Amino acid sequence: MGGTAEIIDGKAFAAGLRAQIAEKVAALKDAHGLTPGLAVVLVGEDPASQVYVRSKGKQTVEVGMNSYEHRLPETTSQDELMALIARLNADPSVHGILVQLPLPGGLDAEAVINAIDPAKDVDGFHILNVGRLGTGQKAMVPCTPLGCLMMLRDHLGSLSGLNAVVVGRSNIVGKPMAQLLLAESCTVTIAHSRTRDLAAVCRGADILVAAVGRPEMIPGDWIKPGATVIDVGINRIERDGRNVLVGDVDFASAVQVAGAITPVPGGVGPMTIACLLANTLTAACRAAGLPDPEGLTP
């Protein structure tokens, strides 16, 4: 064997999605005088988080939406953060609220997330949205799994009856990804670092979603020939004296076996931000009593 997988170009896919969103935002302005607004809250000075937040703000403005950035010092108290959330919940120009995670030590992220108005919870992390997703009710869906689903559907068409293995059980990626795949009628396995014979479990996957956060942990010989591989990992490592970004999948060996694979960078990452914009538009439409925009929800 030993072909070469199709590379699923998340960067291009995300650019196309943002163009669609920009059109819909313009139409919403014309027809209803409504401009969606996204508030991003960043506590502390984590350099990686600062890069993401800047990138989110830039792309929000590029699609014609309003971006509100709230940068708070590392020393911010729980009460101060909760007071900001309350203000943003009450502000009708804010349709989406994202609190950048992780929060500095001492702050209770769970309490903060559950204080966000579920209708404005564009991350889809609020317990009410988690429950809605799990029961098949209309929810805000977490951005990374939503982006993965869009790429899978685009590549495979129907996912019905396929074996899907999600490696990783986080609330942010693994669990909601499994819910979305189950809703697509996949046979879903959630595996993780303690799974016995993880290699054998992965080899059964028609769809393999890697979201463990361990650099290049999944080699090509764990992959079923022809499988579709979605690599959610974003790991910064040093290689040959350089800082490089790698996924949870060993791309060089996986690309020889898989049918299709997302690269890192340029795969899931750009789709995550595009789906954040999609969710903000969806939230604005729902707030105005309008139907959900076409093609942006599961």
Ligand X SMILES: Nc1nc(=O)c2c([nH]1)NC[C@@H]1CN(c3ccc(C(=O)N[C@@H](CCC(=O)O)C(=O)O)cc3)C=[N+]21
- Annotated active-site positions, please? 56, 100, 123
Least Å from the CB of residue 223 to ligand X: 20
Question: What is the Cα–Cα distance from 285 to 116, expressed in whole angstroms?
Answer: 18
Closest approach of ligand X to the CB of residue 12, in Å: 12
Q: Which amino acid is it at 179?
A: Q
CB atoms within 10 A of CB 243: 8
Please give the Cα distance from 166 to 232 (Å, whole number).
Answer: 10
Nearer to ligand X, 198 or 210 (CB): 210
Shortest distance in whole angstroms from residue 238 CB to ligand X: 15
Q: Which residue is nearest to ligand X, using beta carbons?
A: 269
Q: Does 273 bind ligand X (CB under 6 A)?
A: yes
Question: Judged by CB under 6 A, does residue 266 bind ligand X?
Answer: yes
| Residue in 207, 149, 142, 196 with CA at minimum distance from that of residue 172 | 142
Site string for ligand X, 36-55 (x = CB under 6 A): ----------------x---
CB of 42 to ligand X, least distance (A): 9
Binds ligand X (CB under 6 A): choice among 117, 123, 248, 250 = 123
> Out of 38, 39, 84, 99, which residue is the one contacting ligand X (CB under 6 A)?
99
Q: Which two tokens stand for residue 51?
A: 């890069």
Which residues does 209 contact at the CB level (< 8 Å), separation at least 6?
148, 164, 165, 166, 167, 168, 174, 177, 181, 230, 232
Those residues whose C-beta lies under 8 Å from the C-beta of residue 27, and which sit 6 or more positions away, are none
Pick between residue 104 and residue 265 the one whose CB is nearest to ligand X. 265
Binding residues for NADP(+): 168-170, 234
